[in-house]
Amino acid sequence: MSDAVLTRDAAEAGDAARRRGSLGLKLQQQAGILGALALFIVLYLFYQANHPRGFTGQILIQNANEAFALALIAMAQTVPVLMAGLDLSVGAVMTLSGCIASHLVNGTPSEIALGIATCIGVSASCGFINGCVVVYGRIQPIIATLATSAIYMGFALILRPTPGGKVHEDLSWALTNDVREFALTFGLFENGEAAWLQPFAWVPVPLVLLGLIVVLIWVPFTRTVTGRTVYAIGSSEGAAYMSGLPINRAKLAAFTMAGLFAGLGGLFLALQTSSGNADIPQAGAYTLNSIAAVVIGGTSLLGGTGSAIGSVIGALVLRTISFNFRIFDIAPLLQPLFEGLVLLAAVSLGGLKLLRLKNKLEVFR
Amino acid sequence: MTEPEPFFVLENVSKRYGGVHALQDVNFACARGSIHAVLGENGAGKSTLMKIMAGVVQPDVGRMMLEGSPVAFPNPAAANRAGIVCIFQELSLMPELTVADNITLSNPPYRFGLIDGRAQRRRSEELLARVGCEDINPSSRVADLPLSRRQMVEIAKALGRNPDLLILDEATSALTAKDVDRVYRLLFDLKARNLSILYISHRMHEIEALADRCSVFRNGRHVETFTKGARSRDEIIGLMIGREIEGQFPPKPSRPRPAPLIEIRDLAWENRLTGVTLEAGRGEIVGLGGLDGQGQKELLLALFGVLRGVSGKVMVEGNVVAPSSPNAAKNGRARLALVPEDRKSEGLILSMSISDNLSMASLGRLSWGPFINAGRARAAVERAIEQLRIKIGDPSDPVSTLSGGNQQKVVIAKWLATNPDVILLNDPTRGIDVGTKQEIYRLMRELAEAGACILFYSTDYEELIGCCDRVAVMYDGRIVRELAGDAINEHNLIASALNIVEQREPTHV
Amino acid sequence: MTRAAATRNTPQAYRLGPDDKPVVFAAGFVLLILIVGTGYTLFTQGSMPLLQPQYLLQQLQVGSFLGIVAAGLMLVILLGHIDLSVPWTLTAAAMMATAAGGAWALPVGLGIGLLVGAINGLGVAYLRVPSMIFTLGVNAVMRGLMVAHTGGFAPQTAATDLMQYLAVARIGGVIPVALLVWLVVSIVVVVVLTRTILGRAIYAIGNRERAAYLSGIQTNRVILVAFALSGAMSGLAGVLLAGYSTKAYQGMGDAYLLPAIAAVVIGGTNILGGRGRYLGTLLGVILIVLLNSVLSIMQMPEAGRQIIYGTVIIAMLLVYGRGNTVTG
C-alpha cells in the first residue's frame, strides 16, 4: 500500500495515543481469562493456606501431576470450540494414546522415542480423521466425534481389555517430579546441581511441559493464518469464506490439534499411572470436564473468542476445587455434589450479567 | 458515443437455481477508470451477477474474460487473486475478530514465519485512514463497532486487496451521511487511479451522483446499458420495472389531526433516548426521521417491550402501559406490531415455511387452548397471502425461497394477522424493489384509513415526504423537530436531521 | 436457498422433503439390520430369532426405556439445546420412586424428573448458561445427591408392584405394557410437536430464537417447559427401568444418554435444532435397539460393539445427514 501512507509523524503520534487505549482494550477483551485466573489464584491460595502441612514442593508436584492431563485435554477441547464445534472424542483419544503408551513407551531410548512418536502420531491422526468426517462428510462436529469416540474407544479396548501395561520407570519418575529430579535422573546439568538451575529446581516438570506446549505449539498456532481462521470460522463461517480464508484447512487443523493435545494428555496419564486403562467412564468424565474447563476459562461455546491458555486455567480451577475437598475433610461422597454446585455457581454468575443487559435482543446472538 | 475499452467481460452467462433463471444469457462489460452502476429490482439478477464475478457462485453457461483472456473463479479467493474484490451487502466481517485481523487476514504480513501483529495494525491504520476512519482502533473487535463503522471497515478491507475491479453491493445502505460523503470521494479517487468500479444501489440520487454508465437488469436479463444522462429518472425506473410508473405514493387524506391513541412522554433509555415525547392517533402515519442511529430504532424497540430500564411514560388512550416483552406488547391494551430492522434474522425464520411464518405472531388467535386449529390457521394464511398479494408457489415452501420484497411482505402480513392497533415499522423498504415499495406505501395508507396508528422509521427522505402525515425528526436520542403538512420537505428534513438550521447541506445530496 | 429451490419444480407427489429422507433411510437401515442379523443366525444357528414376533416384542420392551428418554431429549434438541443430565435424572427418579414406595412411587419419580428438568430449563432459559454446561452441572449435582443419599451403595428399597407392572407385564401375555407406555409418550410428543403452539414455538426457537421472540413468543417459558418435559420423560424412564430391574441402582442411567442422542440424530433431527420429525426419532431408537440385539446375538465383545456402533452412526449420517457447505 505504498500509495497511501500517512506521514510518518502522524502515524507515530496516532500509534502512541492508540497504544495507551490498546492496553485497556486488551484487558477488556481478555476479561474471561483474567476472571478465571483470579478465581484460580484465590482458590489455590486458600488451599495452600489451609493445607495441614503448609506449602511444600511435594504438594505442588502432586497437584501439577494431577492437573496436567485435564489441562491438556481442556486445551484439546478449546480448538474445536473456538470454531463453534465440540470434540466429544478427546477423552477417547486420550485413552487410546495412554493404552498405546502402556505398550510401547518402554525399553531402549530409541524404542521409547518411537513409542512416544507413535502415541502422538496416532492421536493426531485420530483428530485428523475427525476433521475429515466433519469437513468432507459434512457432519456436525458434536455428532461426528460422538461416533468416532466410540470407535477410538473400541480400539483402546482391543489394546487394553483390562488395565495394565508398563511404561519406562525412569522416564515416568523424571516427568512427574521437579526439575532437579529430572536433571538427576538423566544426569543433566551436573545432576541438577548447576547453580543457574537452582532458582527453578523446585518447579514441577509437568508445569514446565505445559509451558513448553503452550509456547511452542499453541502460541505459534494462533499466529498463523490457519489458527486465525479457526477463530474466524467460529465468529462467522460465511464471512470467513467470503474473505477467502482457508476454511477446510483450518477445520482439519483444529481437529488435528485437538487430537494432538489429547494424545499428549493421554501419554502423560500413562506415565503418571505407569499403566494403560481403557476406562469408558473415565474417558467420558475427562471429555465432559474438558468442556467445563473451557467454559470456565472464558472461551465461548459459540466460538470466536477465547484461548487455550484460558482453558488451562479453567482446568486448574476445576482441579483446585477437588484439592480443597481433600483438606477440608468433606466426606468423599459429597464431593460430586459440591463439584457440581461449584460448576453451576461459576457458570450461573455469568448469567447474572444478563440482568444488566438493557436490550433484551442481545441475549440472542 | 465512444465505447470504453472493456476490462472485464461476461459473455452469454446463465445461472439457474432449480427451475428459476437467476441470470439468462447475459452479456456485460465494464471498463477501467469508470464507475458503472447496476440497477434493477430485487430478483433482477444483480446479486447473482456480482456473485458470479466475485467467485461466490459459478455460472452454468457462458464465459468470463479478464483483459481479453478467459478466466474462471472456483471460489472468492481466486477472484480476489485476479484483482476482483466485492463488498457485499451482508457484511463479510468476522465479528469476534479484531479490525486488524479482519482487514489483513486474507494476506497478512509475516515476521519469522508468523503473523506480525504490529505490521498488521499499522497496515490497517493506513487503510482505515484512506477511507477517512482514523478514529477506528484496529485492535477493537468488530462486534464492538456500530453498524456504520463496520461497513467502513468492510470497505477498508476491500481496498487492502489492491483491487482492479471493485464491486459494491448496496455498500452505503448502513452508512451515515458523513461516511457516504467519504465513500464518494474515495470512489472518485479510485476511478482516477484507473480502477473499474461496479456500484449497485437502490438509491437513485446516489447513482446520479456517482455513475458514468448504468446497466439495467430485469428478470435475469440485461436490459440496457447507457451513459449517464442518456435517460431520465422516470425512464430508468420504467426500464427497471418494465412498465411506466404512476404516482409512487398514494395520496394523503387531508383532515384534522386525530385524537392521540398512543402518547409518549419523556421516554429515556441509557444514553440513546433522552426525553422523547410524541403522540400519534388512529389513521395517522407518523414518520421518524433523522440520520441513521439517532435513537429511532431504540424508540421502536422501547415501545415494543424489548428494552429494559426505560423511564418515562407511554399511554394508550390515557392509560399507562409498560410492556415487558413483545408478547405483552402484542396482547396489551393496544395491540402493537413491530416490523423489525433485519427481516432475515429478526423478522422471519428463514428455514420454516411461508405458512408457519405467516401464523407465527397470531398463533394465540388461531388456537383452541394449547392446540392449533389447523383449518383456521390455513384460512388465515390464505387471507394474508391474498391481502398482500404475496407471490408464492406453495405456502409450505421455506420462506427463504421468496424474493426480498415478498419476504418483507410476509413479515408485514404476519403482524397484520394480529389485527394491530399500533404498527411500528423499522425501515421496512430497505433493500426492496420499487414495485414492492409502492405496494407497501399503499398498504400503509390503507391500514391507517382502517384505523391503525403507524410509526414509520425510514432512512429514505422521499419515503417520509411521500407517506407521512407528520414527521418527527430525531437527533441524538431526542425529537428535535416535528414537521407536518407542507413543512415535510427535503430541506427541512435534512436541516433538522443535522440539528443545524443554517449550515451547508451534505455535499452528496 | 439452493436446496429448497432445487426441489421446487418436482411434482408434489414424488417430492422427498429434506425431513423425509432420514426417515426413509432409517427405515431401510432397520430392515438391513434385520436381514443381516437373520442371515447370521441362519448361517450359524439355523434359526431366525430376529424375525419372531415374541423376540422382537421383547427387544422393543427393553428399547422402550431408551425410546422414552429419546422422545424427551428430542424436544430439547429441537430447541438447539441438549440435556446431559439424563443419566442421573433417570437414576434419581428411580431411587426416589423406590424410596417413596406405595402409591407415591410413580408421582414422586415423575415429579423428580419434572423438577430437575425445570431447573435445567431455568438455568438455560433465564440465566442463559449454555445447556451443554448447565445440564452437565445438574447431572453432577444429582449424582452427588444420590450418592450422598444412598451412601454410595445400591439402595435397599424395591420397586412397587405398579412400577413392575408397567415395566414387565404383558397384556394378554403378548403386548408389553412398557411398549404401550412408550406409545402413549410418542403420541403425546407427536401431538405437541405438530398440533400445538408449544410445538410450533419449539421449532421456531430452534431455528432463530431472536425472530421467535420478536414475534411475541415467550421463548424463555417455552425452553423451560421443553426441559421440564424432557426431565419428566427421563424420570418416567427411570421409574420403568427400576420396575424392570425390581430396584434402583447406581449408574443405571449411564447407558442411556449417548444412545438417545444418537437415536435422535440418526432419525434426522438436526443437532443444532429447528428441524426433525418424531417418526425419525422412533426409527432411530428401533435401529439402535436392533443393532444392540444383533451384536448380542453375535456375542460381540465390547470393543467390537463400540467400533461398529460408531461406524454405523457415521455411515448413516454420511448417507443422508450431510449439511450444506457454506457458500454465503
CATH numbers and ranges of domains, chain C: 26-34+54-320 (1.10.3470)
- pLDDT above 90: residue B248: no
Check whether residue B302 and residue B166 sit in a common domain: no
Percentage of chain B beyond pLDDT 90 is 30
Give the three-class secondary structure for B469: coil
Interface test with C, best of B21, B47, B351 (most C CBs within 10 A): B351
At residue A323, the pLDDT reads: 85
Give, in order, the Cα–Cα distances in Å from C270 to each of A138, A140, C78.
Answer: 13, 9, 7
- The DSSP result for B219-258, as a single string, is TTEEEEEEETTSS-HHHHHHHHHTS----SSPPPP--PPP
Check whether residue B228 and residue B296 sit in a common domain: no
Residue B507, in any domain of the structure? no
**Region B83-105 average pLDDT:** 85
* Rounded mean pLDDT for each run of 10 residues along chain A, 365 residues in total: 38 46 71 86 88 81 91 95 91 95 90 94 96 91 90 93 87 87 82 80 90 94 92 90 88 96 94 88 86 87 88 92 80 77 78 72 74
Give yes or no for a contact between A156 and A278, defined as CB atoms under 8 angstroms apart: yes
Check whether residue B269 and residue B200 sit in a common domain: no
Give yes or no for a contact between B286 and B473, defined as CB atoms under 8 angstroms apart: no
Give yes or no for a contact between B21 and B14, defined as CB atoms under 8 angstroms apart: yes
At residue A1, the pLDDT reads: 34
Check whether residue B232 and residue B326 sit in a common domain: no
What pLDDT digit, counting tens, does each position of C11-42 carry?
444 555 667 788 888 899 899 989 998 998 89
Please report which confidence band the pLDDT of residue C326 belongs to, taking 50, 70 and 90 as the band edges. very low
E-strand stretches of B323-452: 336-339, 367-368, 371-372, 422-426
Residue B132, in any domain of the structure? yes
At residue B21, the pLDDT reads: 74
Pairwise CA distance, residues C58 & C69, whole Å: 18
Please report which confidence band the pLDDT of residue C323 belongs to, taking 50, 70 and 90 as the band edges. low
CB nearest to B92's CB, from A3, A225, A242: A242
Taking CA atoms, what residue in C is nearest to B373? C195
Residue B255, in any domain of the structure? no
Interface test with A, best of B87, B97, B144 (most A CBs within 10 A): B97
Pairwise CA distance, residues B300 & B457, whole Å: 9
- pLDDT above 80: residue B237: no
Residue B509, in any domain of the structure? no
**Region B233-261 average pLDDT:** 77
Q: Is B310 exposed, middle or buried (0-12, 13-18, 19+ CB in 10 A)?
A: buried
Give, in order, the Cα–Cα distances in Å from B146 to each of A319, B142, B150, B409.
Answer: 41, 8, 6, 28
Percentage of chain C beyond pLDDT 90 is 52
More confident residue, A350 or B83: B83
The total number of structural domains in chain B stands at 2
Our CA-based measurement puts residue C271 at a distance from the nearest CA of chain A, in whole angstroms, of 7
* Backbone φ and ψ of B216, nearest 5°: -110, 135
Show Cβ contacts of residue B65 under 8 Å, excluding neighbours closer than 6 positions. B6, B8, B9, B10, B11, B71
Instruction: Tell me the CATH number at B459.
Output: 3.40.50.300
* Backbone φ and ψ of B28, nearest 5°: -155, 140
**Region B364-378 average pLDDT:** 89
Show Cβ contacts of residue A35 under 8 Å, excluding neighbours closer than 6 positions. A298
Q: Is B221 exposed, middle or buried (0-12, 13-18, 19+ CB in 10 A)?
A: middle
* Backbone φ and ψ of B369, nearest 5°: 60, -135
| B162 contacts on A by Cβ (under 8 Å) | 1
At residue C325, the pLDDT reads: 46
Pairwise CA distance, residues A44 & A50, whole Å: 10
Residue B251, in any domain of the structure? no
Please tell me chain C's helix, strand, coil percentages from 3-state DSSP, rounded to the nearest 5.
75, 0, 25
What pLDDT digit, counting tens, does each position of B290-309 carry?
877 788 999 999 999 999 88
Pairwise CA distance, residues B479 & B455, whole Å: 14
| Average pLDDT along chain B | 85
Domain membership of residue B22 as a residue range: 6-241
Check whether residue B173 and residue B264 sit in a common domain: no
**Region B310-335 average pLDDT:** 91
Give yes or no for a contact between C82 and C261, defined as CB atoms under 8 angstroms apart: yes
C216·B331 Cβ contact <8 A: yes
Check whether residue B116 and residue B235 sit in a common domain: yes
| C323 contacts on A by Cβ (under 8 Å) | 138-140
What pLDDT digit, counting tens, does each position of B163-208 carry?
899 998 877 766 777 788 888 888 898 889 888 999 887 667 778 8
B367·C210 Cβ contact <8 A: no
Pairwise CA distance, residues B244 & B235, whole Å: 8
Pairwise CA distance, residues B203 & B289, whole Å: 17
**Region B316-320 average pLDDT:** 90
Show Cβ contacts of residue B478 under 8 Å, excluding neighbours closer than 6 positions. B273, B274, B275, B276, B295
Which grid coordinates are listed for B124? 490497517
- pLDDT above 50: residue B504: no
Check whether residue B116 and residue B217 sit in a common domain: yes
Give yes or no for a contact between B405 and B317, defined as CB atoms under 8 angstroms apart: no
What pLDDT digit, counting tens, does each position of C206-254 carry?
999 999 999 999 999 999 999 999 999 999 999 999 999 999 998 898 8
CB nearest to A305's CB, from B56, B75, B96: B96
| Average pLDDT along chain C | 87
Residue B448, in any domain of the structure? yes
CB interface of C with B, residues 145-204, below 8 Å? 195-198, 200-201, 203-204
What pLDDT digit, counting tens, does each position of B50-66 carry?
888 988 888 888 889 88
Please identify, among B241, B276, B296, the residue that sits at the C-terminal boundary of a domain: B241
Please report which confidence band the pLDDT of residue B246 belongs to, taking 50, 70 and 90 as the band edges. low
Question: C306 in contact with B at a CB cutoff of 8 Å?
Answer: no
Pairwise CA distance, residues B110 & B116, whole Å: 5
Check whether residue B294 and residue B356 sit in a common domain: yes
Check whether residue B315 and residue B379 sit in a common domain: yes
Question: C126 in contact with B at a CB cutoff of 8 Å?
Answer: no
- A vs C: CB pairs below 8 A: 171
Check whether residue B192 and residue B272 sit in a common domain: no
Check whether residue B220 and residue B338 sit in a common domain: no
Amino acid, res. B401: T
At residue C25, the pLDDT reads: 86
E-strand stretches of B309-444: 311-316, 319-321, 336-339, 367-368, 371-372, 422-426
What pLDDT digit, counting tens, does each position of C264-290 carry?
988 989 888 888 999 999 999 999 999
Give yes or no for a contact between B385 and C309, defined as CB atoms under 8 angstroms apart: no
Tracing cell 392446540 back to the chain, one arrives at: B371
Give yes or no for a contact between A231 and A82, defined as CB atoms under 8 angstroms apart: yes
At residue A121, the pLDDT reads: 96
At residue C8, the pLDDT reads: 40
CB interface of B with C, residues 6-65, below 8 Å? 17-20, 51, 56-57
Q: How many residues does chain A have?
A: 365
What torsion, rounded to 10 degrees, do the Cα atoms A77, A82, A87, A88 define? 70
| A244 contacts on B by Cβ (under 8 Å) | 75-77, 80, 106
Residue B417, in any domain of the structure? yes
**Can you say whether the dihedral through the CA atoms of C127, C129, C130, C136 is positive or negative?**
negative
CB interface of B with C, residues 293-312, below 8 Å? 304, 306
More confident residue, C39 or B21: C39
Pairwise CA distance, residues C212 & B349, whole Å: 8
**Region B43-50 average pLDDT:** 80
Check whether residue B463 and residue B366 sit in a common domain: yes
Give yes or no for a contact between B39 and B214, defined as CB atoms under 8 angstroms apart: yes
C313·A360 Cβ contact <8 A: no
More confident residue, C160 or A16: C160
Helix axes B434-449, B404-416, angle to 10 degrees: 10
Interface test with B, best of C79, C214, C221, C270 (most B CBs within 10 A): C214
Lowest average pLDDT, out of A196-210, B11-25, B299-313, B381-395, goes to: B11-25
* Backbone φ and ψ of B398, nearest 5°: -60, 145
Give yes or no for a contact between B471 and B287, defined as CB atoms under 8 angstroms apart: yes
CB nearest to A340's CB, from C141, C272, C305: C141
Closest to B49 measured CA to CA, from B71, B28, B79: B28
Amino acid, res. B422: V
Give yes or no for a contact between C305 and C295, defined as CB atoms under 8 angstroms apart: yes
Helices (H), A197-246: 205-213, 219-222, 225-235, 237-242
Pairwise CA distance, residues C151 & A174, whole Å: 39
Please report which confidence band the pLDDT of residue B288 belongs to, taking 50, 70 and 90 as the band edges. very high
CB nearest to B125's CB, from A11, A245, A305: A11
What pLDDT digit, counting tens, does each position of C179-217 carry?
999 999 999 999 999 999 999 999 999 999 999 999 999
Give, in order, the Cα–Cα distances in Å from C45 to each of C48, C102, C302.
Answer: 8, 45, 22
Please report which confidence band the pLDDT of residue B406 belongs to, taking 50, 70 and 90 as the band edges. confident
